[in-house]
């Protein structure tokens, strides 16, 4: 017997309590209609076809069920609101099907399945599309940055460590570092896709079923690439969404670091980058202002997506390993909001990158300032004077101190020559011209041809390898999109064989 409770002074002993209906069922019904309707109907088709194939239901019963699915008014279902008649969207659709056909036959569609495996299946079906959309946007950004790098293989700029000017490099070298981490972001999404695109359907409540179902058949019909084999793990494990959230989180961290740099570059103090007028806002009081708000919006959207990804992981943390609501209905809006904000951030960033002007002269000027080339000066002493690097470093450091805070190349050479006898115990034999060359940022970059460096041969190799990587990722994306487009046709064709009507609306 149900325990009698009091809510607002009225006795409640029947599920659902009004407050439960209002705060849980109504909200979840709206979310399910928004996110999962098509996937749920596709699962209905695939499962019914499998039951018929296995002889669990008769051909006549399968035909009735499939035709009932074809008669559903999807637009009306999307507009439906929770009224308490049915607990959730699953039972609402079952009621819609029963209203137009034999309810007893419709009830056979639910043989050998549970809302547990249905829910996890439709979650995975929707997540995989979100991952492909993110991968597409990352590929676009990767290609834009690569094209920009190709234009700026010789554009000098300072590299920074600890936010301080460090050494000369090129804009291409900087951008190829971003191209690399975007490539890794795509790799993480590809790995998450591989984890997600495994079918849990057939796990039923958590232990499969005694009916002779064919899990591989529904896997194929629904566009999956394998089974989530163990039925307990298919229902209880949460790593399929945790891995996706982790991939999104890392991607947004990477994007945020890049955006933070570009915002600094837009300041007057740096002056490395100028956004087009369409991407800046003027101040309401200061007519001269060019506020780079598009980058600021990119940053906050990336931060929102990152925090939402953390929320997904935090929700799953320290929950039991089994069927629990913590990782089901109430979690889904957070997952989709995470994907949506990540897409918005990437889309906006792509627009900004496509509409900005690199201030090459200012970058080049900054690369000639602040003693940036003195590492190569020390290296030259090691090569030409046969000094240890420690001794060379000490001499250069003393010369830097002697020159003072305002860098001057000629004074730097003068101090090197003057200080050598007291610092290293002898005069330098290297020529003044050689010391001047060592301090030239162009020379600094040119000699750094080691793999991964900014020198032309090295950066050319990085660009070529990135082009090859993008081609591979594009092919992967095209193949996965084709897979997700084709499975709906497979369901349609299989259903048409039973209904005998190739012109009916197909699943999804």
Q: What is the pLDDT of residues 165-190, one digit of tens each?
A: 999 999 999 999 999 999 999 999 99
Q: Yes or no: say if 348 and 298 are a contact pair by the CB < 8 Å rule.
A: yes
- Provide the pLDDT confidence category of residue 500 given band limits of 50, 70 and 90: confident
DSSP 5: E
Residue 282 banded pLDDT, cuts 50, 70, 90: confident
Burial class from Cβ neighbours inside 10 Å (0-12, 13-18, 19+) for residue 443 reads: middle
Q: Which residues contact 214 (CB under 8 A, 6 or more apart)?
A: 50, 53, 54
CA-wise closest residue to 37 among 130, 118, 148: 118
Tokens of 408: 């001057």
* 3-class secondary structure, 417: helix
Fold (CATH) for 116-149+161-210+221-360? Fumarase C; Chain A, domain 2 (1.20.200)
Task: State the pLDDT at residue 286.
Answer: 81
The set of residues, in sequence order, having a beta carbon less than 8 Å from that of 409 and lying 6+ positions away, is: 436, 439
- Alpha-carbon distances of 26 from 19, 80, 92, 328, rounded to whole Å: 10, 11, 12, 15
Q: What DSSP character marks residue 6?
A: E
pLDDT of residue 5: 40
Pick from 366, 449, 356: nearest CA to 157: 366
72-131 pLDDT, tens digit per residue, is 999 999 999 998 888 899 999 999 999 988 899 999 999 999 999 999 999 999 999 999
Which residue, 178, 181, 224, is CA-closest to 201? 224
At 227, is the secondary structure helix, strand, or coil?
A: strand
- Mean pLDDT for the stretch of residues 398-421: 95
Q: Are 177 and 463 in contact (CB under 8 A)?
A: no
Report the predicted TM-score, pTM, of the whole model to 2 decimal places: 0.92
Check residue 12 and give its pLDDT.
Answer: 60
pLDDT of 4 over the 60 cut: no
Tokens read off for 451: 């793999």
Q: Are strands 164-170 and 156-161 parallel, antiparallel or unpaired?
A: antiparallel
In 227-381, at which residue ranges do the beta strands (DSSP E only) sit? Answer: 273-275, 356-358
Of 88-102, 189-203, 387-401, 431-445, the one with minimum mean pLDDT is: 88-102
Nearest to 107 by CA among 53, 54, 32, 48: 48
Q: Which residues contact 390 (CB under 8 A, 6 or more apart)?
A: none
Residue with token string 């790593």:
239
* For residues 245-270, average pLDDT: 97
Residue 499 pLDDT > 70, yes or no?
A: yes
Of the candidates 111, 128, 112, 123, which has an alpha carbon nearest to the alpha carbon of residue 203?
112
Which residue from 498, 503, 375 is spatially nearest to 45, judged by alpha carbons? 498
């Amino acid at each position: 017997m149900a325990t009698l409770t009091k809510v607002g002074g009225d006795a409640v002993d029947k599920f659902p309590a009004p407050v439960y209906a209002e705060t849980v069922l109504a909200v979840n019904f709206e979310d399910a209609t928004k996110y999962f309707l098509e996937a749920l109907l596709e699962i209905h088709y695939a499962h019914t076809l499998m039951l018929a194939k296995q002889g669990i239901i008769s051909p006549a019963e399968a035909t009735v069920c499939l035709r009932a699915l074809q008669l559903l008014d999807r637009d009306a279902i999307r507009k439906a609101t929770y009224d308490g008649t049915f607990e959730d969207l699953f039972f609402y659709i079952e009621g819609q099907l029963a209203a137009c056909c034999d309810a007893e036959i419709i009830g056979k569609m639910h043989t050998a399945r549970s809302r547990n495996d249905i829910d996890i299946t439709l979650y995975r079906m929707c997540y995989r599309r979100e991952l492909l959309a993110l991968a597409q946007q990352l590929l676009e950004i990767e290609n834009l940055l690569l094209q920009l790098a190709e234009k700026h293989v010789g554009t000098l700029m300072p590299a920074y460590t600890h936010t301080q000017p460090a050494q000369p490099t090129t804009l291409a070298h900087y951008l190829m570092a971003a191209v690399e981490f975007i490539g890794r972001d795509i790799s993480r999404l590809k790995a998450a896709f591989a984890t997600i695109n495994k079918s849990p359907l057939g796990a039923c409540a958590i232990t499969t079923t005694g009916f002779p179902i064919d899990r591989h058949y529904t896997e194929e019909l629904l566009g999956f690439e394998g089974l989530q084999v163990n039925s307990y793990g298919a229902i209880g494990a949460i790593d399929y969404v945790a891995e996706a959230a982790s991939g999104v989180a890392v991607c947004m961290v990477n994007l945020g670091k890049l955006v933070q740099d570009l915002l600094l570059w837009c300041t007057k103090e740096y002056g490395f980058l100028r956004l087009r007028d369409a991407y800046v806002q003027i101040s309401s009081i200061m007519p001269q202002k060019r506020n780079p708000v598009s980058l600021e919006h990119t940053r906050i959207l990336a931060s929102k997506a990152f925090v939402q990804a953390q929320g997904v992981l935090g929700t799953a943390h320290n929950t039991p390993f089994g069927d629990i609501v913590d990782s089901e209905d109430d979690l889904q809006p957070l997952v989709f909001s995470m994907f949506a904000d990540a897409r918005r951030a990437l889309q906006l960033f792509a627009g900004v990158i496509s509409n900005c002007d690199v201030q090459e002269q200012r970058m080049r000027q900054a690369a000639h300032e602040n003693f940036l080339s003195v590492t190569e000066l020390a290296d030259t002493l090691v090569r030409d004077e046969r000094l240890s690097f420690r001794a060379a470093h000490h001499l250069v450091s003393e010369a830097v101190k002697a020159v003072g805070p305002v860098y001057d190349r000629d004074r730097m050479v003068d101090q090197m020559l003057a200080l050598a006898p007291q610092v290293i115990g002898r005069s330098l034999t290297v020529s003044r011209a050689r010391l001047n060359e060592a301090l030239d940022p162009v020379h600094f970059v040119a000699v750094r041809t080691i793999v991964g460096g900014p020198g032309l041969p090295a950066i050319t190799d990085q660009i070529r390898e990135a082009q090859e990587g993008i081609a591979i990722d594009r092919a992967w994306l095209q193949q996965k999109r084709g897979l997700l487009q084709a499975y709906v046709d497979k369901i349609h064709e299989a259903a048409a064989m039973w209904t005998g009507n190739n012109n009916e609306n197909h699943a999804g």
